[in-house]
Structure formats: structure tokens, C-alpha cells
Amino acid sequence: MFALLHHANIYANTGIHMERWSHIREIRFFLVMPYCNTDCMNVYLEHLGAKYPSDIILLVMDKASWHRSKDLRIPDNIRILHIPPYTPEINPIEQIWKELRKIGFKNELFKILEKVVERLCDSINSLTNASIKSITGRDWILSMF
């Protein structure tokens, strides 16, 4: 069984599933971390790998320094695919960010960071599997299977 995820800096990941690729299943895995660095990325990878131990997970990410660090501890069930630099249009998670901004962050001022994080979590949880599928279903990713 393959699980396909798209990576984002807050470690919000979404899976996709298309009927014709029955060996790919949809998973959603979100962690909101305090930093974008190698230590937080390692925590994310550890939790992701442990949550789906019997799946092989293809994690699609950009080439941020913490995504390519020599100190990354990548679990055996996770494979990483880095997209080319400066290509947000082919990064499926960028479309998720666009949707999150639209549904959760419309011209609003937050007085404390905790309220931003709370709104982010509420916005992520409001996304349905169908909306994530329609936003992130990219033929270029699915064609690898």
C-alpha cells in the first residue's frame, strides 16, 4: 500500500487518492510545529512513519534546507521526492495554502500568535477529503505509480 503526501512548512500534509490507482490510499497527517528546521522535520518524519508503519509513503517536498539536511532521520517506510526549485505551481501543498488563506485568513488582524495557530488548525480541519483531493490531485505525481 502506498500513501502519498504533500509536504508544507508547518508539516501539514495531505494525501490523495484516485480511483484508478487503488494501491494509493488517502491519508491526512498534520503537525503544527514551532520552527521550520531539521529538528522539527525529524519529529514530523518520526511521527508520520510511526502512524503508518505498514505503508510506503512518498513525501513530496520543496528543497528547503531542512528538507535536505544531512541530519534528517528518514524512517524506512518514507521516500522523499523533491520538486524543482522555484516551482510553486507544481507543488500541490501551495494550492492547499491558497485555500487555507481563503477560508481562514481574510483581512484579519490577530493580537496573539496562539489565535493564528488556532485558526490555522480550525481551517485545516475544515478541509474535506473531497476538497483536498480536487486541490492536490496532480497527474505528474500520480503518473509515477
- pLDDT tens sequence across 79-98: 998 888 888 777 777 888 88
Instruction: Return mean pLDDT, the chain.
Output: 78
- pLDDT tens sequence across 2-47: 344 444 433 444 443 333 344 555 567 788 888 889 999 999 999 9
Number of structural domains (the chain) is 1
Least confident of 18-22, 63-67, 104-108, 122-126: 18-22
CATH number assigned to the domain comprising residue 32: 3.30.420.10
Q: pTM above 0.85? A: no
> Quick one: pLDDT at residue 45?
94
Print the SS3 string covering the chain. CEEEEECCCCCEEEECCCCCCCCEECCEEECCCCCCCHHHHHHHHHHHHHHCCCCEEEEEECCCHHHHCCCCCCCCCEEEEECCCCCHHHCHHHHHHHHHHHHHCCCCCCCCHHHHHHHHHHHHHHCCHHHHHHHHCCHHHHCCC
Q: What is the mean pLDDT of residues 45-55?
A: 91
CA 28, CA 104: separation in Å to the nearest integer?
19
Give the range of the structural domain holding residue 18, as residue numbers without chain letter.
Answer: 2-142
* Residues, the chain: 145
